[in-house]
Amino acid sequence: MSAAGELKRVQEKNKSMLCIGLDLDRKKVPTQYATTIKGLYDFTTRIIEATADLVCAYKPNIAFFEELGPEGFSLLEKIVAKIPDEIPVILDGKFGDIGNTAAHYATAMFERFGADWVTVNPYMGYDSIRPFLEYKDKGAFVLCLTSNPGSRDFQFLHVLNKPVYMYVAEKVAYWDKEQNLGLVVGATHPEQLTEIRKVAGEVPILIPGVGVQGGSLEQAVINGTDNFKRMALINVSRTVLYASSEEDFDKVARAEVEKLNGVINGLRVGGAQSGVAS
């Protein structure tokens, strides 16, 4: 089965489009778990155990592990090993380098750390992405239009009357021969998300920026899936991980995920009742 096919299978099994970003910010982790590697591991594994049947992916951001040094990489390996085999792992490193170097990144992420997907930067072109695609059963989400304010510095620039992000979307749709490419599009750009969805074909879209960053969950779901006709993953992190600083944080995290799934599935039912394809 293709990498995209695996994502779709998990979404259908768990009835969820949610991806939890495992961004371990020690300033936000409950105090009793924040000061040691074991504490961070225990915190994260409790989040995973509480939510694994309610999500379609987990997305560790490598920066939060890199700052911990060698112990951080060991922690990342242990956390990835804790995630159930049927749940895809997206390692968020936004890789982008010449082909030879990219090949080493691909080996490290897919073979050493056990990722199913990675995030990559398209600025250096296809040869910087190709090494990741040579792993036919793995996938790469390509930055297209990011959720941060600085996205306007380059991504909105027009070249021959079309913004750069649209060229990225079109190229990725063209390159996606093995159903192992995706796009990253921020929920903070709902109108542009609609435009990108139209040209992306069957390419799945990973959508960060819901919640704390100000993006609308409802708009992200409807625009990112074209009313549930295409695949999207809604990334949530801080609103779930740090929903509570008390000892019941895992139960509160689960309740938050259930609430978000309820909103999404309510939109799906509402669309079907109003005649929207699902």
CA 99 to the chain's CA centroid:
23
CATH code at 3-270: 3.20.20.70
- The per-residue pLDDT for 278 is 30
Q: Where are the domains of the chain?
A: 3-270
Q: Which residues pair with 183 in a beta bridge?
A: 142, 205
- The per-residue pLDDT for 273 is 41
User: Strand, coil or helix: what is 120?
Assistant: strand
* Residue given tokens 């961070």 in the structure block: 40
Cβ contact 91:117 at 8 Å: yes
Q: If pLDDT is split at 50, 70 and 90, which confidence band does 271 have?
A: low
- The per-residue pLDDT for 129 is 97
Q: Report how far apart, in Å, the C-alpha atoms of 156 and of each of 61, 164, 165, 224, 228 are.
A: 25, 6, 7, 19, 27
Express each pLDDT in 146-156 by its tens digit. 988 888 888 88
Express each pLDDT in 62-87 by its tens digit. 999 999 999 999 999 999 999 999 99
- Catalytic residue list contains 162: no
Cβ contact 22:61 at 8 Å: yes
Q: Which amino acid is at 128?
A: S
Which entry of 8, 78, 82, 94 is annotated as an active-site residue? 94
Express each pLDDT in 22-57 by its tens digit. 999 999 999 999 999 999 999 999 999 999 999 999
